[in-house]
Amino acid sequence: MQTILVTGGCGFIGSNFIHYMLNQNKYRIVNLDALTYSGNLENLKDIEEDLNYKFIHGRVEDAKLVNKVIKEEEISFIIHFAAESHVDRSIMDSTPFIKTNIFGTQVLLDSARLNNIEKFIQVSTDEVYGSLSSEGYFTEETPLAPNSPYSASKAGGDLLVRSYVETYGFPATIVRCSNNYGFYQFPEKFIPLLITNILKDENIPLYGDGLNVRDWIYVEDFCRGIDFAFHKGKNGEVYNFGGNGEKTNLFVVEYILRCLNKPKSLIKFVKDRLGHDKRYAIDFSKSKRDLGWEPIYIFEEGIKHTIDWYLNNKEWWERIKSGEYLRYYEQMYGERD
C-alpha cells in the first residue's frame, strides 16, 4: 500500500480529505500538521487508531523534518493543504502567510523532487484570480490578480509549483476551488460563524452591504475533485472546482436564519473589509471534461447537512469558541501561532 503525505490534515478541508481517502481503503495516510490556531486533532479523533493513518506534528517550513518524514515514511505522493488561510488575519500581519504559503511550499517542492515523489497536488484557491464583475467566470486561463496578502501568498506558492514543473519536469498539478463549507470548519470562517452565532443568539457581523457574491462548494465535492485530479490530472495542469452555488453573503445569512427559525434582527452590518473582492465564480468545465467531475450537492442541500452537523457537535465548536482547545494544545505542543 503506497503512502500519501497530507500537509495541514488537521484543518477543515484537509481533515475531510483524509476521512474521504481512508474510506476508500487504498492508501496509507501520513498527516503533517503544525497545529496552528485552526488545526484541530479532534477533527480526526475517530481515526486515531486506524493502522493506515499516522499523525506527525511539525511545520512544512522545517526542511530537516520534511526530508525525514518523506524518507522514513516512504512517501510516494504529496497533497499539500497546509496554509495560513484567513484573509482578515493576513491583513493584520502577512508574515505567517509568506512563511507557510510560499517558503513552506518551496521546502516541500525541494524535498519532493530530491526524493522522487510520484505526484504533488497543490491545493489552492479561486482568490488568486482576484475579483469578478457581475458577469463572467474564473477559468484556468484567468490571469492571477490577487487582492489580499493571503491570496498573494497562495498565488506565489502556485507560481513556484508551476516553475518546478517547467524547470525540472516535476510531477505536479494545481487545484483551485471556490468557497468551501461543511463539517469541521473553524468557527471564525463565514458559514460556521453564522451558524454558531445564531445558535447562541449572538449578532452576525456582515461586511458592507452584504452583496458580495461567493460560489459555494460542499467540502465533500471538493475532496472528490482533489481525488479526481490526483488520479486523472495531468502534470502541469490547473483544474478549477466550483459548486454552481453563487450566493450573496446576505442571502446565505438570511437562508441560515430561516433554517434555524431565527430573526433577521441578529444581522449587524459592519464596515467593509479592506480589499474585499466583489464576486467569485468558477468555471469548472475543464474538470468536467477532462476529469469527469462535477458537484453532487446543491447549496441548499449541503448547507442543511452542515447546519445539522454543527447542531450535533456543539461540544466541538463550543470548546473552540471558548478557547479551551487552545489551552489544551498549548500544554501538549507549546504556544500555538
Considering the candidates 129, 137, 150, 329, report the single residue annotated as catalytic: 150
Q: By the 8 A CB rule, do 308 and 267 touch? A: no
Q: Would residue 20 show up in a list of annotated catalytic residues for this protein?
A: no
Q: Indicate the SS3 state at residue 79.
A: strand
Q: Would residue 150 show up in a list of annotated catalytic residues for this protein?
A: yes
Q: By the 8 A CB rule, do 177 and 282 touch? A: yes
Distance CA(310)–CA(315), nearest Å, equals 9
| Cβ-Cβ contacts under 8 Å for 289 (sequence gap 6 or more) | none
Considering the candidates 33, 61, 84, 126, report the single residue annotated as catalytic: 126
Q: Indicate the SS3 state at residue 309.
A: helix
Grid coordinates representing 54 are 499516522
Q: Name the residue among 167, 161, 126 with its Cα closest to residue 147.
A: 126
Grid coordinates representing 334 are 507549546
Considering the candidates 84, 127, 158, 246, report the single residue annotated as catalytic: 127
The side-by-side arrangement of strands in the sheet containing 3-7 is 53-57, 28-33, 3-7, 75-80, 119-125, 172-177, 238-241
Distance CA(66)–CA(77), nearest Å, equals 13
Which residues carry out catalysis? 126-127, 150
